[in-house]
Structure 1
Amino acid sequence: MLKDKTIVLGVCGGIAVYKSVELLRLLVKAGAKVHVIMTRSAGEFVAPLTFQTLSGHPVHTELFNLLQEMEIGHITLADRADLFIVAPATANLVGKLAGGIADDLLTTTLMATKAPVLLVPAMNVNMYENQIYQRNEGILRGAGYHLLEPECGYLACGWEGKGKMPAPATIVEHAAALLEPKDLLGETILVTAGPTREAIDPVRYISNHSSGKMGYAIARAAQQRGARVILVSGPVAIPVPLGVEVVNVVTAEEMRQAVLAHLEAATVVIKAAAVADYRPAQVSATKIKKGSDDLMTLPLIKNADILAEVGANKGGRLVVGFAAETTDLLENARKKLLSKNLDLIVANDITEAGAGFDVETNRVRFLLADGEVENLPLLDKSEVAWRLLDRIARLRGH
């Protein structure tokens, strides 16, 4: 979580500076307090006023600026930082750091900080592959700096290859991972997410409104807190979280097979997927044509209950289920908790505002096997994931 963290964002001169503007916006949106240091050449691409407006703080540009030095100073900037990000980091900046050169505000502050530093290189592919540059990267890695590799693609200089600055959202994910406590280190967490689809014919299928956002938020947060995460995902339109092992499935039976295949390795199982309870008894090999009858009968057969099967073979694992209900929330969730041998169930009433499918928020209750119930207010799903993992960490003795 980046909320209330102080981040110093260093911006070097390069065409990728436009991505730094979006990076700043995302950091601020996540609740971070961001102070920006720009090199002189960075100001040739984007005016400091842009960063000042988005951050809500003056932009720092000069090492010897009496007003800035009086207000905050490069040492104060270095000391107050929880995390230092340089994006884009040019070959010049990387070379200076590797050589111990501190001749401007950005390099001086970097040399003075004890916060973790995340460098995001962006440059021409030939510069990136240059042996001297690669040596400098190696020096910085050895000194404890974190470097996020550039992506491959078409570059602004006209070349194609490695050198593109990654998407701002990817940088934010790396930044969050650096600041998370690693209290789930040693755990292997198996998470299911999204819907399943049960084919009727080659065109149609039975499914539900699950977006997968809750399960993906849990997987992302667990990985950032040090766990090995295996994510069994139904069909969703969400990028795979950084560092998470994903197994893509479509049907309930495919999800069951994937869960059972990875169950032995798991110490914690979190079943956040909305699995279809039934599937068509027979799948038509061809598209079913509209007939003259007003009614169509579609025989269904019950799918295997994956959560019950996991609960019956729990062993020493901690097993968490989800209950999305429309009536008798606590009663139905408690029945599910007990009948499926769960340690904890996350219950939500999908008829409540902000707690249904395909939204960014959720209002949930944690029901534990010992009878305890914790009611959470309406929260962003990432915060719900964080609270759930706090509970799991305590139950696992962390």
Structure 2
Amino acid sequence: MVLKGKKITLGVSSGIAIYKAVDLASKLRKLDVYLNIILTEDSKKMISPTVFSAVGNCPVYTDYFNEVKDGWIPHTQLSLESDALIVAPATANIIAKIANGFSDDLLSLTALAFRKDAKIIVPTMNTRMYESPALQRNLELLKNDGWIIVEPESGHLACGEIGKGRYPDNDMIIEFLEYSLSKKDFLGKNILITAGPTQEPIDPVRNITNKSSGKMGYEIAREFSNRGANVTLISGPTNIKPPYILNEFVEVKTASEMYNEVMKRFNNSDIIIMSAAVSDYRVKNYSDIKIKKDEDNLIIELIKNPDILKELGNIKKENQLIIGFAAETNDLIEYAKRKLIEKNCDIIIANDVSKKDIGFDSNLNEIYIINKLGDVTHVEKNTKKNIAINIINYISEYFNSRK
């Protein structure tokens, strides 16, 4: 994982959402980062430094003068040693200080001295404060200085008003952190990804589908986005939040809808990853009304859906890369190699869905990556997030080798 072993400084100002920063510190600790925390004077009045230290299992710095010891100057050392700086929550006051170069406390001093690209600020406040011209002007200054602004959410605020200003989900902040620290080896590349199952309706309340959760495709989309690509994710029905850093997210239900959306974008795509589990068949005679169980047996006639992957293989251009997926229950490598040739893919990702601890609905997977030369690379069982990283590392090497 990109965050493991990184040195992260978390700056906390005195917004009412400060309790959510405690959760952020906890999540970062679980990701095996080296964490340092800076609290402003007012934030100490809301939550004790001891709480942050215990939850983050890390040092907490508060007062500039008390922290200078034996030549160790906190704002210069923390800004120099840290790989990333996060300010969350960020009040209008700390935003104004950082944007305009004021440095009268430890957090603003550290922000002023921090010169690396991975710097994130999370504004949270009353909606009228957030929408004020002065605050928006300061956010523009920060953007121009290279800060990533994680936009607040809309909803009920602590003051009782409704509007934009709520602290966002900590998973979003961590996703932006991963993005800021990831290498950008796919910068400017257009990536088209399909994920999840498709559903073929029988009547208004029933459909034919499969067990695909979409988790693998979503993790691939997230990792490509982190690495600078312009990603379009076309997804069948899932229960997963799409990655926050996406260029385009398209929801579909049927195989025909997925076919149409893929074809609209195919010509402008450099790399196409077909990880969706597309239904091979659809119902020939869809019923507009619910079918009643009047008979002991019900016969449903099915007809073939378009073979999206095969059609893409037939029309692909020389500079395009097509990656297919083969989910099999037996003779995995043999069937995957056959599919690679029949569909004219460049790479096939094969996994054994007969194993109950990996594949469908699981957070784990084990795969084999097979290229046109017949080379087989085994990626042992791991989280789908780490499997996605392995797949994209392989694609990066393969894609660059063709130039």
> Taking structure 2 as the reference length, what is the TM-score of the superposition?
0.93
- Is 1:354–1:378's contact at 8 Å kept on the other side of the alignment? no
Matched residues in 1 for 2:195 and 2:91: separation? 39
Matches within 5 A, 1:226-237: 226-237=228-239
- Deviation per CA, 1:187-216: give whole Å up to 9, x if none: 111100000001111111000111111111
Does 2:270 match 1:240?
A: no
Q: 2:309: which partner in 1?
A: 307
Matched residues in 1 for 2:99 and 2:345: separation? 52
Residues 134-143 or 77-86, more deviating: 134-143
Opposite residue 269 of structure 1, the aligned amino acid is I
Pair 55,68 (structure 1): closer, same or farther in 2 beyond 3 Å: farther
Q: Which runs of 4+ in 1 moved over 4 A?
A: 66-72
Opposite residue 275 of structure 1, the aligned amino acid is V
Does 2:101 match 1:107?
A: no
- Is 1:364–1:376's contact at 8 Å kept on the other side of the alignment? yes
Q: 2:206: which partner in 1?
A: 204
User: SS state of the match for residue 388, structure 1?
Assistant: helix
Unaligned runs of 5+ in 1: none
Q: 1:181: which partner in 2?
A: 183
Matched residues in 2 for 1:226 and 1:199: separation? 37
The share of aligned pairs that are identical, in percent, is: 43
Does 2:392 match 1:389?
A: yes
Number of residue pairs aligned between Structure 1 and Structure 2: 397
Matches within 5 A, 1:1-398: 1-66=2-67, 73-115=74-116, 116-241=118-243, 242-293=245-296, 295-316=297-318, 317-397=320-400
Matched residues in 2 for 1:210 and 1:180: separation? 28
Residues 132-141 or 83-92, more deviating: 132-141
Opposite residue 252 of structure 1, the aligned amino acid is A
Pair 66,94 (structure 1): closer, same or farther in 2 beyond 3 Å: closer
Q: Offset of 1:132 from its aligned partner?
A: 2.8
- Is 2:235–2:250's contact at 8 Å kept on the other side of the alignment? yes
User: SS state of the match for residue 20, structure 2?
Assistant: helix
Opposite residue 24 of structure 1, the aligned amino acid is A
- Is 1:151–1:163's contact at 8 Å kept on the other side of the alignment? yes
Matched residues in 1 for 2:89 and 2:70: separation? 24
- Is 1:354–1:363's contact at 8 Å kept on the other side of the alignment? no
Matched residues in 1 for 2:5 and 2:311: separation? 42
Matched residues in 1 for 2:119 and 2:201: separation? 49
Pair 61,102 (structure 1): closer, same or farther in 2 beyond 3 Å: same
- Is 1:197–1:205's contact at 8 Å kept on the other side of the alignment? yes
Q: Offset of 1:349 from its aligned partner?
A: 0.9
Q: Offset of 1:70 from its aligned partner?
A: 7.3
Q: Offset of 1:155 from its aligned partner?
A: 1.1
Q: Offset of 1:350 from its aligned partner?
A: 1.7
Pair 203,101 (structure 1): closer, same or farther in 2 beyond 3 Å: same
Unaligned runs of 5+ in 2: none
Matched residues in 1 for 2:295 and 2:312: separation? 45
Opposite residue 74 of structure 2, the aligned amino acid is G
- Deviation per CA, 1:68-93: give whole Å up to 9, x if none: 77788332221121110000111111
User: SS state of the match for residue 65, structure 1?
Assistant: helix
Opposite residue 308 of structure 2, the aligned amino acid is I
Pair 292,127 (structure 1): closer, same or farther in 2 beyond 3 Å: closer
User: SS state of the match for residue 65, structure 2?
Assistant: coil
Matched residues in 2 for 1:57 and 1:159: separation? 36
Pair 90,102 (structure 1): closer, same or farther in 2 beyond 3 Å: same
- Is 2:219–2:384's contact at 8 Å kept on the other side of the alignment? yes
Q: Offset of 1:330 from its aligned partner?
A: 0.8
